[in-house]
Structure 1
Amino acid sequence: MPAFKRKIFYLSGFDPRGARFYQQLYTEQAALFGATAGRRIEVGERRREPPHSAAWKIRDVDADTEVDYVFLGWDDVVRAHWVKNPLGLLGRSIKAYANFTRLVDWSIVHKFPWGVKIAFYYPGISTILFPILFGLLLAVPLVAALGWAWGLLAAAVAGIAIALWVVKRIQGFWLLRFIIFNDILASERLPADVDDRMVTFAETIRASFAEDWDEILFVTHSNGSILAVPIMARLIEGCDGTLPDRFSLVTLGSSIPLIGARRDSHRFRALLDRVGAGDFRWLDINSITDGACIAGIDPCIGGPQRRADLFQTSPRWFKYCDPATYQARRRNKYETHFDYLRTFDRLSPLDYIAISSGARPLAESIAAFKADNDV
């Protein structure tokens, strides 16, 4: 029998890719981590975990640990909310931007990093302004070559085509869909398919409390951290406010304050206050270089005094990366948002592979990170 047994429940962000992608990413990063740490980490075959999820075993041979990793599947729900029609995407984006702009509490939002505000509005502005900009740049040569009527038409078509290519390259359409979906989440009721799935996930996690695990981690990434709020609220309610000491919540690249700062989000705010009042360990890792998260802001901001034991930190990638690696990763903003799940040139005590596969409990990993960074 292994010396240390861990159960992990992983909830991805607003991503139509499912368990196959995330298992492949984990396997690749485990191999890199193992080569750096001098440890052999085995990642098993993916299996179905009814009703909606998938799972696989992880074994750190040298540390003598065994992990059951459950991918909480909701990619089918994401695809159902993935706006495909270009005109529909544009119209719903405008509505979502209008709602966020007029309904957020700007006394909270002004504390957000500037990179977050730019990343939030950049896709919408780009989708509208880029066609105009590129069209104007192309209008003069095309009008000279084709005449007024055909030249202006060609400039408009070419401007739109180039703008769409640029917005796609910067993952702007994904961000627009993210904004639309979170505008829906800010309403008084979750969509039925989302609500039903989160109830199922809460019941699945709670069932593990009766099982023989040394540690249970609920790990969420990106939009999954927002959806962790109704799940956690249900878990806390079912456990009379105090979750097992061997349980921890880990939020990576989180944007919870995006919904928490909406003045009209009464349901979500009540759930978030309930989560903040719960007694459990919470690790929240966000980087200022990641515009798709909200770094350095307490996820329970604007609510009553928090009881949850929250340790919020930057991953400090600059410390654990060679300079060339760090600069290269910073240039790709989309991939930066997934770097929380990756390993680096030097091993951080809070490296994702380390905390998910190793024998050290999360509380000890946090303590080691604090000592390593004089926090």
Structure 2
Amino acid sequence: MTRPFRRRVLYIPGFDPIPPRRYRELYKREGAEQARISGYQLEFGSRRDRTGFGWGVSGDFNDGRGEAEVEVLIWTDIVQASMGQSIPATYGQLLRTAWTYITSGALFRMMRLRRGPVLAALYPVVALILQLLSSLLVGGLIGWTAGHLTGPGWWLGLPIMLILTWVGLKLWQRLDGRIFVHYLMHDYAFTAQHSGAYPEALEQRIGQFADRIATCLEQDWDEVLVVGHSSGAYLGVSVLADLIRSGRVTGDGAKLSFLSLGQVVPMASFLPRANRLRADLRYLSARAELDWIDVTAPGDACSFGLCDPVAVSGIEPPDRRQPLILSAAFRQTLSPEKQKSLRNRWFRLHFQYLCAFDRPADYDYFAITAGPQTLGARFAGRTHSPGRISRAVNGWTAI
């Protein structure tokens, strides 16, 4: 009996405070749907290696059988700690983050690449200002009315206005599970807090992730696949750069692969103190120890669709090998009905890379993670998707 292809998947999520079990349920639900659409079989179960949080999956495909164990590399605690902010602190984040992106020139340079992710970044700024103004307006009108009808004027009206303004802001905050204003503000503030440099807690976690991947490379796998989504894509770059620099990727065992999805690299690499990330991008792009595929989509307003993260950051080396820039092409791979159901759900679209496509093409997340081919073999011979953006517009290129 032929031995199935064996893979270890290590998934690095983006800036997400929600426990990782959501990713397990998403994978199972969407994987079952993709298998039904594409005509292959997937089975979900437990893992032999119970380190961390994850799940097992096996599949029968036209080109063979694959088995995989998926593990989520968790930094949820760091995200949650950064989000424990009062309303005044959130408005302080707004001012500091806007100042960082505007005065560094990063905001305007990113606009030259894609307007979508920049508008997405401006959304929480504008929304927080409107929330404050609307709360002040309602509180002021009620306070003015109460003060003048009862006689004391603003001696009564001003306290009422302040109290109702605070109540209004608290009500807006309670709606954040639907409108994501505070969440996105915390996300962008986290990236900008040190002008692109990693905070110490995140540096330590990057080191732990590298150690974990090194351990997996020593085990009996055909491929160790690192998947980074959104902010997790640039964390993956630094993790893998550290891993290779340390000499722990020998090439004797499992093939090391990196799949970056919906990346937002310019949000960090365009900032003045992102020297570490820029150096990692430059280094990783020239290494032969791994295969790196970057998948985005112009229809994803939260990512820099088809923007080459190395080239646009202005640090492309002469011996560059990767990443290969591919489009998930939502307009072609999702039916008109599916596109209609996702219209204006831009946050859900940002997670489409992890979901089923009802008109699948080359990109299939579940075949990539559970199928019998390495990432490099699956996309061997491919060239960059049409529309790749490679012009260097970054004003900060020190490494």
TM-score by length of 2: 0.81
The aligned residue for residue 124 of structure 1 is 125
- Measured after TM superposition, the shift of residue 182 of structure 1 is 0.6
| Bigger radius of gyration among the two | 2
- Measured after TM superposition, the shift of residue 249 of structure 1 is 0.9
- Measured after TM superposition, the shift of residue 131 of structure 1 is 3.1
The aligned residue for residue 113 of structure 1 is 114
Q: Deviations over 1:37-66 (max 9, x none)?
A: 23221111368744xx22322111454211
Q: Tell me the C-alpha RMSD between the 2 structures.
A: 3.3
The aligned residue for residue 8 of structure 1 is 9
Q: 1:167 to 1:72 in 2, by over 3 A?
A: closer
1:154-303 correspondence runs (5 A): 156=165, 160=169, 163-164=172-173, 169-184=178-193, 186-188=195-197, 190-239=198-247, 246-279=255-288, 280-300=290-310, 301-303=313-315
Question: Retained in 1: the 8 A contact 2:47–2:69?
Answer: no
Whole-angstrom distance in 2 between the partners of 1:371 and 1:20: 34
The aligned residue for residue 395 of structure 2 is none
Structure 1 position 69 matched with structure 2 position 70? yes
Please tell me the residue identity of whatever aligns with 1:40: Q
- Larger helix proportion of the pair: 1
Q: 1:241 to 1:38 in 2, by over 3 A?
A: closer
The aligned residue for residue 320 of structure 2 is 307
Structure 1 position 340 matched with structure 2 position 353? yes
The aligned residue for residue 33 of structure 1 is 34
Question: Retained in 2: the 8 A contact 1:126–1:167?
Answer: no
Aligned length: 372
Whole-angstrom distance in 2 between the partners of 1:204 and 1:167: 34
Question: Retained in 2: the 8 A contact 1:276–1:307?
Answer: yes
Whole-angstrom distance in 2 between the partners of 1:372 and 1:114: 20
Whole-angstrom distance in 1 between the partners of 2:42 and 2:120: 36
The aligned residue for residue 87 of structure 1 is 88
Other structure's SS at 1:66 match: strand
The aligned residue for residue 56 of structure 1 is 55
Other structure's SS at 2:98 match: helix
Identical amino acids, percent of aligned pairs: 24
Question: Retained in 1: the 8 A contact 2:100–2:195?
Answer: no
Q: Which runs of 5+ in 2 are unaligned?
A: 389-399
Q: Which runs of 5+ in 1 are unaligned?
A: none
TM-score by length of 1: 0.86
Question: Retained in 1: the 8 A contact 2:327–2:385?
Answer: no
Q: Deviations over 1:222-276 (max 9, x none)?
A: 1111211221211221349986793221111111111111123223322322222
Whole-angstrom distance in 1 between the partners of 2:315 and 2:270: 10
Q: Deviations over 1:69-117 (max 9, x none)?
A: 1211221222222233222122123212211221244674242211111
Bigger drift between 128-137 and 357-366 goes to: 128-137
